[in-house]
Structure 1
Amino acid sequence: MNYFPQSLQKVIEDISNLPGYGEKSAQRFATTLLKMPRGEAVDLVRNIAIMLDKIHPCVECGIYTEEEEICPICKSEERDKTYICVVEESFDAYTIEKTGKFTGVYHVLGGRLSPLEGVGPEKLNIKSLLERIKKYSAKEVLIATNPTVEGEATANYIHNLLKKYPVNITRLAYGLPFGSVLENADEFTLSKALEYRIKV
């Protein structure tokens, strides 16, 4: 006889199907939800439903927004549309935006190249990037994909595509985090810090 509650099993299976979640992490999520005061748990589920109803990608850049079609960044007349920062996901753009140092616009790829996961160029928001470059006569495209094997492969792919366009192609610099100790740096970070060293 199976004593495992079917409704709990279904939730665990659904969460396990999400990228980055396995059965154990799904079990922890479900258990945490069950341990929460019922009112808080119901509020969380309600907020998720509201989010799913309201949030959608901006038709221009792909960043998540609550606006009807175009996000506030793309709408803003203060943003320079000739400078485009290419990121993997919306949260990468939000992180850069917090610095207050970038005054251009963003372009969200919606992921990164990953042959093992079946993600090829056709599954990324690349075609619309090329259209925006032509539409706004872009001066610079800053490729800000993550410093991972997949992120590097994605950056290289985009770089090769953009070579035929009259646009400056830049890459988010890699290096040692402030306050770190050299002996604790991993080989990849240190090699990139050396590769992108600056003149003082």
Structure 2
Amino acid sequence: MTTETTRQLRYAARQWEDAAGYPSAVLSGIVPDGAHLARGGPHVSIEDLRRHGRYPDPSTPDPLGRPTTVVNLRAGAAIDMSVSRADMVKAHGRVYRVWLDPTDPRRRYVNAINVWDGVPGNLPDRFDFQTGERTKTDRSHEWHCHADFVRSRWDEQAVGRAAADLAARAFVSLIGGESRQDWIDREGPALAGEEEAPRP
């Protein structure tokens, strides 16, 4: 197995666990286990997806068909975080608010987030920020949130450290419940200097 974590993924996971307002949060994983490797998906590096016959990966398509710009083929692009029901409901509200706003610039860095509204009988939601779709996912996401990211925007080797760090901060802002305007006000210079990057 060659899938590796990155500085940006470790930062985002640490902030989500310790500083985003989720007292129950415990990191479940970043790099893939055997089940992830077998079925593919964003936890798995492009190198491992190819090795296991799962590339191109249908779980993270480019809805606009734009070319991929990923240099680090060994990096995964997802985080799983175990949380209580109360924290899951909090996360659902925060994610849903950003998903509803197509003008929120933080959306460009996040592929999709799986999260549950806490209502018994309801399947967890998968909010796709690239296609704008809301679908249902499996019940494992009643106890853990899953977030997967736009690989090319988190790839420090492709876009540089500053841009990759901005991607990580965008996710932390989103999952932490910061408002769109507060994020823009705080990150204005970094956002102004960022060029539109191709999606993975």
TM-score normalised to structure 2 length: 0.23
Higher-Rg structure is 1
Q: Which has the higher contact order (CA 8 A, sep 6+)?
A: 2
Give 1 or 2: higher helix fraction.
1
| TM-score, normalising length: structure 1 | 0.23
